Amino acid sequence: MSLHVDQVLSQQLQNQGIDSTVGVYGDHKLQIGNGKPIALDKIQANSVPREGFRRTEQIRRGKVGLETSANDTMKALTNPAGKFDAKAILGSIMAAKIHLGRMEKLGQLQGVPQDSTMWIFSNAVENLSNEDLARVYQTFTSKQMDLLQAALGREVQINSKADDAAFAAEALFDLNALIVKEVNNRAMACQIKNAIEQTNNLQERENLDAMMPKSITETYGEIGYPPGSEFTRVNPNRRNETDMTAMNLMTLVELSSSSATQRANNAPHEAKRLANRSVDGVTVTQMADVMRNAELTINVPVDVLFKDTFILKKPNQAILNIFQLKQQGMSSKSDEYIALRDTAEKKVFPEFDGHQLDPAERPVYGALNVMQHGKGAVANGEYGNVCIVLKDNVKKRSTFSSSDTFFAPKLKINAQTKETFYKLLDGSGVSPMTAQILRDPNSEAHKKFELMLDRLALDKNSNTTAFKTGGKTTGLNLSDAEDSKLRTLLFKCFVDTESTRSNMTTYENMESLVTGLDDLDGNMLADAAKRSREGGNGMAVLSGGRYIEAQIHGPIVPSRDIAEIRVDISELESLYTTPEELENAKAELQAFTRETGIPVIITNLDDAIDEQSSIIRQNVEDQSAQHIDREAAEQALAEKLETLDERIRLHAFPRTIPPVQNLEFTDADKE
């Protein structure tokens, strides 16, 4: 039996991009997705044991019951099964309500705040790992949570006897505030600890230590301890070596918050884009689900798989990122490349800047396999054809961008950023000769560089692809090392962090990533969503080799985080050329499976998947002419016409100056 949808709430939610595919509210019931409706006028609690007969036993059971309910609420909010479970969340909160009522009758609530439930949950929140705290925070930024809280509010509004809904609404509101407070506490404590480590002055250390934030249990109290109580219990260390750090936590929280806001703000615009393109029967949520449901994969070369330092030999040790490999002398990457990567990451993740970063805090990179390719999302010669598939819960501690973070960052080019670039040339590591030539307004290199910047400034979609090499942007023939240093400075001065972050998201708010896709890639996702809904193949083939990059925060422990590994037989045969070597390699893979339980699948992939993706791509491209947002296209054309004279001037300008390819310098010249 379908619900009679509450039209007032439905309209309000649609304006935030929350449609019936997310869920509906009506007849005093809430339905999430296709799940069973949940009554909100009288909410069912989790199983609660009897009170007991003796007063001391009743008090003990009441305290234990509140603690259990708080912990159950945290567990439900981490979405252990990968899906939003409103029944489990509400059931544990209602169990807390029952225990609270019993404790009140026993006179055990003296001194605790009567207008807040924070004290019930404070200890459970404090004992969350950083990873679980990040998951809970993301749950609060999800569409499903927005729907649940809105439905509870509406139930209270229209039902004078909705005591259960009122308690649940208050508890979720308090919990959200408590989670934010705990995140801020951990981030502040991390910054203060870093500052303490960087000074040898005893007085400064004491002053900094005095700035440590009070714990939320001290601030709001906890079960058995009203606010201001003397605590005899010491909270256990929340973080172990397999947990993410507070800095990783802050990165996820910041992006979760901004992408949730963007998702809600962009909802009307995205709905209009779909309507303008005549894409019927598909919602932005369903398009985002194509990305959410895709495998998260990492591609590596087959020889890396068998290295002594990698996962086959060390299944219980975290995978090392490029900074850790460099630190341990296991990377051939140059110091200049590492400096460039450092700058790029700090522009994309400003939380890293000004913080004494541990190399382990850097992300490991993967991609969402929306194309469902057996060899992984980015299988090619550069990344390798061994596909490591990560478990779905790793997506919850990942951030995502619609392209490679080396090429996705947006640019901000104006007089101020140009001035900064020229000022910083001297300390950038480029030679004095190069710096002098680039500053000289009469040099051909300076003219070419300024011309390029002016062109990029006119393109609102310009990104760091323009800086693939530093020297070519100026016409100077630089060594690889100097070129990399110049490119690092270009990133530092011209990358627009705010604009770049608007094209990044977290798992719960993939809808915000749809905004940055053009019509063709949007149509690819829409077509995939249609096919998936109709029981067909839901692969999405993005244009131009584009992929959805994942930046994975926190340690990736193979035995804990890998779902399966796929190795193409042709890859093995190219590395191990004799039958004996090949059999030994297979035996090593089998031994890994026996030890970890992780399946290693030796595949014999042919070109069928590529042929299938080509057919799908061609079909969507053929139909794209019917699904173009003509209103947006006309607006873009109008914007270009406004700057037509300037564009003509800039494109004509190179013909008036001699070619600069001959501007080459020897190392002696530069010195």
Any residues with CB less than 8 A from the CB of 507 and at least 6 apart, and which? 138, 292, 395, 396, 398, 400
Question: Which residue has better confidence, 623 or 272?
Answer: 272
Residue 628 has pLDDT above 70, yes or no: no
Alpha helix stretches (DSSP H) within 318-365: 322-327, 335-348
- pLDDT tens track for 84-136: 999 999 999 999 999 999 999 999 888 788 788 999 999 999 999 999 999 99
- pLDDT tens track for 496-514: 999 999 889 999 999 999 9
Edge-to-edge strand order for the sheet containing 29-32?
23-26, 29-32, 38-39
- pLDDT tens track for 154-213: 999 999 999 999 999 999 999 999 999 999 999 899 889 888 988 999 999 999 999 999
Residue 653 has pLDDT above 50, yes or no: no
Residue 473 has pLDDT above 80, yes or no: no
6 close to 13: Cβ distance less than 8 angstroms = no
Question: Which residue has better confidence, 91 or 277?
Answer: 91
Q: Identify the band that residue 631 occupies on the pLDDT scale cut at 50, 70 and 90.
A: low
Task: Quote the pTM value.
Answer: 0.87
Reduced to 3 states (helix: H, G, I; strand: E, B; else coil), residue 4 is coil
- pLDDT tens track for 422-440: 999 999 999 999 999 999 9
Nearest partner of 509 among 191, 265, 177, judged by Cα? 265
Q: Identify the band that residue 607 occupies on the pLDDT scale cut at 50, 70 and 90.
A: low
What is the per-residue pLDDT for 637? 47
Output DSSP code: residue 83: S
Residue 323 has pLDDT above 90, yes or no: yes
- Token representation of residue 195: 């500052």
Residue 597 has pLDDT above 60, yes or no: yes
Strand partners, 298: 388
Q: Identify the band that residue 670 occupies on the pLDDT scale cut at 50, 70 and 90.
A: very low
Q: Determine the Cα–Cα distance for residues 439 and 447; give it in Å rounded to an integer.
A: 10
Relative orientation angle of helices 163-197 and 202-210, to the nearest 10 degrees: 180
Strand partners, 549: 367, 401
What is the per-residue pLDDT for 654? 41
Q: Determine the Cα–Cα distance for residues 119 and 113; give it in Å rounded to an integer.
A: 8
Share of the chain above pLDDT 70, in %: 87
Across the chain, what does the average pLDDT equal?
87
Lowest mean pLDDT among 119-123, 309-313, 541-545: 541-545
Lowest mean pLDDT among 16-20, 281-285, 536-540: 536-540
What is the per-residue pLDDT for 222? 84
What is the per-residue pLDDT for 232? 39
- Token representation of residue 505: 């998201």
How many CB atoms are closer than 10 A to CB 79? 22
- Token representation of residue 45: 């609690």
In this structure, which long-range contacts are made by residues 337-343, counting pairs with CB atoms below 8 Å and at least 24 apart in sequence?
A: 337/484, 339/484, 339/485, 339/488, 340/484, 340/487, 340/488, 340/491, 343/488, 343/491, 343/492
Largest interatomic CA distance in the chain: 97
526 close to 534: Cβ distance less than 8 angstroms = no
What is the per-residue pLDDT for 643? 53
Lowest mean pLDDT among 49-58, 94-103, 400-409, 660-669: 660-669
Q: Determine the Cα–Cα distance for residues 397 and 134; give it in Å rounded to an integer.
A: 7
Residue 639 has pLDDT above 60, yes or no: no
487 close to 469: Cβ distance less than 8 angstroms = yes
Any residues with CB less than 8 A from the CB of 360 and at least 6 apart, and which? 245, 318, 321, 324, 555
What is the per-residue pLDDT for 469? 72
Q: Determine the Cα–Cα distance for residues 590 and 586; give it in Å rounded to an integer.
A: 6
What is the per-residue pLDDT for 567? 93
CA distance readout (Å), 239 to 126, 133, 217, 431, 464:
11, 11, 18, 45, 36
